Amino acid sequence: MKNPDDQNDDPAIGDMARRRFLQGVALATGAGALAVNGGAWGGSTLSDAFADFFQQHYQRMTEAEIRATIERIERKAKRRYGVDIRVDNTPAQEGVIFGYAINVSKCRGYRDCVHACARENNLSSDTQYIRVIEMDRDSTDLRHGDHYYDHEQVPVEGKYYLPMQCMQCDNPPCVKACPVEATWTEPDGIVVVDYDWCIGCRYCMTACPYQARHFNWGHPDLTSAGLNPDTHYLGNRPRPRGVVEKCHFCVQRTRKGRQPACQEACPTGARIFGNLLDPDSEIRYVLEHKAVFRLKEDLGTEPKFWYFRDE
């Protein structure tokens, strides 16, 4: 549940007033710094640099502010990578809560999903949202799983493969851990991050029992050719350095009705994605007709990510 204070749009109240004041102070300081140190804005214009500095939390911005922010992000990407990206702001669809299911009998550990995800979501080369864990047959002990497996051919006899990514928990511990509320659950059930509000404390990474969150230790090493220009504000737009990111069910695709990149890339059809509220959806059929389980269910995180086997 969201704190009702978050919804307060009245600028005269509480932290908003304080924020306005601090903005004024910082503006004056920043202007002074510019006079001393002329080209310190990374090629940005002064107004963009200021606007970046005073950018609001995504949920507190007005439509116009979001539009201005998006234009600024697009300009920044153009400067940095020389690519015209489109940052999207599609809201969650009404009556949609996303759920995911993986057929562990079908997953063969090819890792096609991992790399499709990395391409789609503009991941730095040291980050992968999906971890395909090679598990011993007849065991669900994640401690004995290995995601660095490197065989000539998969699947290997006596092993099975368990892909893990963000479970989009309904009771997400990472959201509770964030001291600045830079991460929250969207109405369609996706846990998202406002990369510009994140302070990089990495508390959420510690709180997540699935190791689904990843930290940008450096600037993402994206190339102009490899950059996916179709992005979303809460999704795969190029991230700054020093912030936490995670799987967001390809929010830039799924909110427009497309499949997430991992599902589209899966060559065996092990991945099933859909609307949990639609009784005719594939995911609902799986949940109602298969013996599904979730990882670390005893923690009460209520993941919206199920696993099942062929009987």
Partner 1 sequence: MTWPSRLLALLTVLAVAPCGVARAVEQQGAPPTADWDWSGFTGLDDTPVTKRAGISKAPVAAVVPRVGETAMPDFDAPARRAYAVFSGVPPFEVIPSQRDPGMHPCSSCHQWVLSDPRPRHLKKPHDNFELQHGLHGKGKFWCFTCHDLSGSGGLKTLTGEKLEFGDAYLLCSQCHVDQARDWAYGAHGKRAANWQGRRQVFNCTACHYQHRPGIKARAPQPGPPVRMGLERPAHWVAHDTERPKVHGYESVWQRAHRETQAAGSGQHTGDPQTNPAEQAADEKS
Which listed range, 60-68, 186-194, 199-207, 263-271, lies at the site for partner 1 (CB under 8 A)?
263-271
Gap between the Cα atoms of 236 and 120, Å rounded: 8
- Provide CB contacts within 8 A for 181, sequence distance 6+: 6, 57, 197
Which listed range, 11-19, 148-156, 197-205, 295-303, lies at the site for partner 1 (CB under 8 A)?
148-156
Position 217 contacts partner 1 (CB under 8 A): yes
DSSP 59: G
80, 209, 259, 277: which one contacts partner 1 (CB under 8 A)? Answer: 259
Position 306 contacts partner 1 (CB under 8 A): no
Binding string to partner 1 for residues 84 to 113, with x set by CB under 8 A, is what? Answer: -------------------x----xxxxx-
> Do residues 192 and 249 make contact, with C-beta atoms less than 8 angstroms apart?
no
In 3-state terms, what secondary structure has residue 26? helix
> Do residues 206 and 164 make contact, with C-beta atoms less than 8 angstroms apart?
no
User: For residue 77, how far is the Cα from the chain centroid?
Assistant: 18
Q: Residue 47 has which token pair?
A: 């107004």
* CA-atom Rg of the chain in angstroms: 21
Position 232 contacts partner 1 (CB under 8 A): no
- Kindly tell me which of 189 and 274 has the beta carbon lying closer to partner 1: 274
Position 131 contacts partner 1 (CB under 8 A): yes
- Kindly tell me which of 72 and 232 has the beta carbon lying closer to partner 1: 232
Measured from the CB of residue 108, what is the shortest distance to partner 1 in angstroms? 7
Backbone angles phi, psi at 184, to 5 degrees: -155, 170
Nearest CA to 249 among 109, 125, 93?
Answer: 93
Q: Tally the residues of the chain.
A: 311
Which listed range, 6-14, 61-69, 175-183, 270-278, lies at the site for partner 1 (CB under 8 A)?
270-278
Binding string to partner 1 for residues 2 to 41, with x set by CB under 8 A, is what? Answer: ----------------------------------------
Measured from the CB of residue 165, what is the shortest distance to partner 1 in angstroms? 12
- Kindly tell me which of 179 and 257 has the beta carbon lying closer to partner 1: 257
